[in-house]
């Protein structure tokens, strides 16, 4: 496959130019992402990138974590328009910075850098970046996080995992939200878990009901585990 692509590029200068432009854009983005990650590392802050389609329950999960997560945290919110999600988080007493992307269907490191001058580095242990609702573009851009949380809701259907493999290969945890609606939709939980682990062997999968809180403790335990893993990695640097 690589040889075919390379041959196509060789025979098509225009395609070669596009590939080089994309590589340059991603290279610049990755350099900025490393800067952001280094800032978090300097302050011993563990950062989680939350990705999903719109309406999967990322913000509601953050609201519930505000009541139960045993760490101080801050949130960088990404949406095309409005500051509604950031306002919801602030009502829980959590610092939140809203990034409005306009037409962009994802956050990138350049956008996230806008939040850094105001970020409360000395007051938190955890950072969450709530990415723009989209199961495609966010998977291609490093935003400076240490771990990726990918959400998929029951009403979306269990086929979304197979349909958007790039996103789920990036997942360090897959969270199936709106578990209270399983009986009303054709959503096979076992098939969803199997498909997720085909794409990312061994990835933890949590079934979450944000109305009752069922599954939230498992997410908290996973965050604790990743927090300890991150701090241990900093000691070894």
pTM to 2 decimal places: 0.89
- pLDDT value for 62: 98
Is residue 5 over pLDDT 80? Answer: no
User: Per DSSP, what are the bridge partners of residue 75?
Assistant: 96, 128
Say which CATH superfamily domain 2-235 falls into: P-loop containing nucleotide triphosphate hydrolases (3.40.50.300)
The string of pLDDT tens digits covering residues 92-119 is: 999 999 999 887 889 999 999 999 999 9
If residue 88 lies in a helix (H) or strand (E), which one and from where to where?
helix 84-90
Range with the poorest average pLDDT among 23-27, 112-116, 142-146: 23-27
Is residue 150 over pLDDT 90? Answer: yes
The whole-number average pLDDT for the span 207-227 is 97
- pLDDT value for 103: 78
CA angle 154, 155, 160 (to 5 degrees): 75
Is residue 10 over pLDDT 70? Answer: no
Q: Give domain limits for the chain.
A: 2-235
Is residue 34 over pLDDT 70? Answer: yes
Which of these, 226, 145, 225, 158, lies nearest to 196 by C-alpha position?
Answer: 158
């Amino acid at each position: 496959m690589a040889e075919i692509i390379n041959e196509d590029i060789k025979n098509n200068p225009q395609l070669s130019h596009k590939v080089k432009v994309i590589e340059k854009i991603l290279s610049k983005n990755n350099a900025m992402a490393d800067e952001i990650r280094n800032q978090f590392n300097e302050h011993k802050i563990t950062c989680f990138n939350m990705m999903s389609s719109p309406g999967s329950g990322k913000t509601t999960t953050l609201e519930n974590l505000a009541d139960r997560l045993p760490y101080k945290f801050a949130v960088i919110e990404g949406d095309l328009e409005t500051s509604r999600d950031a306002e919801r988080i602030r009502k829980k007493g959590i610092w939140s910075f809203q990034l409005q992307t306009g037409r962009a269907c994802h956050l990138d490191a350049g956008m996230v850098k806008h939040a850094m001058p105001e970020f409360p580095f000395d007051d938190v242990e955890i950072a969450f970046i709530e990415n723009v609702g989209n199961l495609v573009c966010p998977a291609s851009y490093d935003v400076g996080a240490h771990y990726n949380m990918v959400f998929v809701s029951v009403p979306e259907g269990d086929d979304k995992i197979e349909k958007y493999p790039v996103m789920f290969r990036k997942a360090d945890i897959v969270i199936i939200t709106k578990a209270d609606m399983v009986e009303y939709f054709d959503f096979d939980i076992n098939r969803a878990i199997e498909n997720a682990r085909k794409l990312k062997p061994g990835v933890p999968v949590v079934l979450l009901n944000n109305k009752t809180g069922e599954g939230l403790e498992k997410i908290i335990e996973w965050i604790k585990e990743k927090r300890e893993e991150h701090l241990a990695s900093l000691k070894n640097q």
